[in-house]
Amino acid sequence: MPENWGVSGGPTFGLRIVKFGLWTGNGSYSNQIVAPSAQLFGIRLRTSKGELTGNDAITARHARAISGSGNLRIGSISLSVLSLITGGAIESGGSAPNRRKRLRFTGGRDFPYFGLCGKAHSDKGGDLHLFVAKAKISDDFDIAQLEYENFPTPEIPFEAIPDDSLQVDGVTSVQTITLSGSPTGGTFTLTFRGETTTGIAHDANAAAVQSALQALSSIGSGNATVSGSGPYVVTFAGDLAEQAVELLIANGSSLSGGSSPSVSVVMTTPGEDPESVVFDALEHETAESVLLPPYFAA
């Protein structure tokens, strides 16, 4: 049986490049720089976990990813890297051949959030990218350790937390409205988050039902679509897509004719809130440039 090496067909090897970017909070990164002589880029998934015991046995176990921790080791003292991850400003002065740059570290400074992306090659071509969405320095580290016949190799510990500006895996709610009892007249209403539509005709088309729902300020224009002509299928969209939403409340007390006419709503597809990205692993069959989002957000 062939070994499952991934899309490139070979094992991952080494560390080719690591790129930093200042986290902006809108799914993109500014001041992107490449770490000099990157030697180590490690990520560890942190979990919330527990177990339930009873009757001399483990009866249930829970584990859920909540954040990540990691380390980056670079083969040089880089003022650009240190400036980005500590929030300090580099001061430049002088002129050739006496140009100089200075980065001062002062007490009381809050460290900023940043993103990282590292790349390793496969020995059969292709590569693996590891992307950390939102991280901050998490512990003490040596900025400079100068030693005879050695290059300094600072190692930077960081903690990665979920980034609410990069969310995935949300599920959109779909609900079905059904009129029963073959009404021949009258109207029905739908209520969402405390607001109720005007009366909707028993034989309304999908566009009329959609207009009635979008007229509610609790839904709004473009945030729900309707298809079908009874049953009606309501698909939440726009600002209400990919999240858990309440079930519509139907009232058919004004329907008439037929045999005990009524209206009901069922949750065809329950909505689910999206999860925020902590880090991303991405395989490429052929080598690709190392980029930060929106590349990874796609």
Residue 130 above 80 pLDDT? yes
* pLDDT tens readout for residues 174-189: 999 999 999 999 999 9
* pLDDT tens readout for residues 190-206: 999 999 999 999 999 99
User: What is the spatial distance between Cα 208 and Cα 167, in angstroms, rounded to a whole number?
Assistant: 33
User: What is the spatial distance between Cα 209 and Cα 123, in angstroms, rounded to a whole number?
Assistant: 58
Residue with tokens 């059969």: 124
CA distances from 196 to 101, 159, 203, 241 (A): 64, 46, 19, 20
User: What is the spatial distance between Cα 135 and Cα 22, in angstroms, rounded to a whole number?
Assistant: 10
* pLDDT tens readout for residues 35-81: 889 899 988 888 899 999 999 999 999 998 888 899 999 988 888 88
Banded pLDDT at 144 (limits 50, 70, 90): confident
Residue 249 above 90 pLDDT? yes
pTM above 0.75, yes or no: no
Q: Could you please report the per-residue DSSP string of the chain?
A: ------TTSS-EEEEEEEEEEEE-SSS-EEEEEEPTTEEEEEEEEEEEEEEEEETTEEEEEEEEEEEEEEEEEESS--HHHHHHHH-PPEEEE--TTS-EEEE---TTPPPPPEEEEEEEEEBTB-EEEEEEEEEEE-S---S---BTTB----EEEEEE--EEEEEE--B--EEEEEEES---EEEEEEEETTEEPPPEETT--HHHHHHHHHTSTTT-TTSEEEESSSSEEEEE-GGGSSS--PPPEEE-TTEESSSS-EEEEEEEE--B--EEESEEEEEESS------TTTTT-
Residue with tokens 């901050």: 136
Residue 213 above 80 pLDDT? yes
User: What is the spatial distance between Cα 191 and Cα 195, in angstroms, rounded to a whole number?
Assistant: 5
Question: Across the chain, what does the average pLDDT equal?
Answer: 88
Check if the beta carbon of residue 122 is closer than 8 Å to that of residue 9: yes
Residue 3 above 70 pLDDT? no
DSSP bridge pairs for 150? 147
Burial of 258 (0-12, 13-18, 19+ CB in 10 A): middle
In Å, how far from its chain's centre is CA 93? 41
In Å, how far from its chain's centre is CA 117? 15
For residue 6, the model assigns a pLDDT of: 62
Structure token digits, residue 209: 């039902």
For residue 9, the model assigns a pLDDT of: 63
User: What is the spatial distance between Cα 219 and Cα 222, in angstroms, rounded to a whole number?
Assistant: 8
* pLDDT tens readout for residues 97-108: 998 988 888 888
For residue 212, the model assigns a pLDDT of: 97
Banded pLDDT at 280 (limits 50, 70, 90): confident
- Overall average pLDDT of the 83-93 stretch: 90
Q: CB-hemisphere CA count at 13 Å for 88?
A: 18
For Cα atoms 68, 69, 73, give the angle at the middle one, nearest 5 degrees: 140
User: What is the spatial distance between Cα 28 and Cα 281, in angstroms, rounded to a whole number?
Assistant: 18
The alpha-carbon radius of gyration of the chain (Å, integer) is: 28
Residue 27 above 80 pLDDT? no
For residue 291, the model assigns a pLDDT of: 63
User: What is the spatial distance between Cα 115 and Cα 165, in angstroms, rounded to a whole number?
Assistant: 12
Residue 298 above 60 pLDDT? no
